[in-house]
Amino acid sequence: MALPHVLGVDLGGTNIRVAVLDANGSIGHASRTKTLSEQGPDAVIDRIADLIAAVAAEAGIGADIPVGIASPGPLNPRTGVVHYTPNLPGWRDVPVVSKLEQLTGRKVALANDGNCAALGELRFGSARGCKNLVYLALGTGIGGGVVTEGVLIDGKNGLGAEIGHTLVSIDGPRCTCGSIGCLEAYASGWAIQAEAMKVATTADGDRLRELATDGHIHAGVVATAAAEGHQASIAILERAGRALGASIGSFINMFDPEMIVIGGGVATLGEALMGPARKMIPQYSFVDMRRDVPVVYSSLGGDTGLYGAGALAFMTFD
């Protein structure tokens, strides 16, 4: 029998979020609690289990309804172990799935937030109805997911499809992953901010310093300045956009997707970033694949983690 609904858990950010989602992507009962990661993995997992129990009781759903979890990684979805994650300091090889299955008595599936978001876009979002998708989460870092003929492409240990760390230039800037010249080192929130900080120390940076009322020159400040016609800011976003477009061209060559979906906070910079990207895509993709690949924005917004977790549960258990 088809599952009428599932429980989605979003472990990104500073809150644990739990919601009931139905097969059409309607979010029903939902709740959140502070993660309080400083209390250690066991306390956090207890709090996740308590929140699942509370939301399930409130929604009146049975013990047979499964749970999907979207978490930052690296993690292994095959074993259900979170290796470590920047927003949960102190976590090392935590067996989240087995612990939660014991505590809740429910079936539990785990995947990284980028892969979950790709599934969420396919089932509930901008790529609804597609079977072949490349999803990019442009945030502080860059995550994503790749789906081919309905199957998530993530490798032997589920660690693959780190498309934010696609090589753009072997002589490029240092990346957080330890490599050089990754897409993330050009087009992520931190990379745009790093370029802006360099400009801010020069005479060209006057406007950036004025706009950063709290002294924090983030990507949004660059976008505001670019919209005013500030040339140095336009150049920063063009550089990021060109790297993004070149990478998307590569993704089209590699995966022959029906659609590219762009999500995450940096995607809200819009066409100041995506305009230069769109110009580059045809130059970097094969002539017979470059036509008609729509590059669209995510429609899931701030609930991407919950939608992704729900989509994971439906895909795994339905």
Tell me the C-alpha distance between 181 and 179, whole Å. Answer: 7
Catalytic residue among 113, 214, 288, 292: 113
Active site residue 113: yes
Which of 280, 316, 304, 314 has its CA nearest to residue 113?
304
| CB closer to Zn ion out of 123 and 165 | 165
Q: CB of residue 185 vs Zn ion: minimum separation in angstroms?
A: 6
| CB closer to Zn ion out of 33 and 176 | 176
Q: CB of residue 74 vs Zn ion: minimum separation in angstroms?
A: 13
Question: Contact between 224 and Zn ion (CB under 5 A)?
Answer: no
| CB closer to Zn ion out of 15 and 179 | 179
Alpha-carbon torsion, ordered 293, 299, 301, 306, to 10 deg: -100
| CB closer to Zn ion out of 43 and 177 | 177
Q: Count of alpha carbons within 13 Å of 293, Cβ hemisphere only?
A: 29
- CA max distance for the chain: 66
Length of the chain: 318
Q: CB of residue 174 vs Zn ion: minimum separation in angstroms?
A: 9
Specify the DSSP class assigned to residue 166: -
**In contact, 207 and 217? CB cutoff 8 Å:** no
- 123 backbone dihedrals φ, ψ, rounded to 5°: -85, -40
Q: CB of residue 201 vs Zn ion: minimum separation in angstroms?
A: 25
Give the footprint of Zn ion on residues 160-219 (CB under 5 A): 165, 175, 177, 179, 182, 184
Query: Which residues contact Zn ion by CB under 5 A?
Result: 165, 175, 177, 179, 182, 184
Active site (catalytic) residues: 113
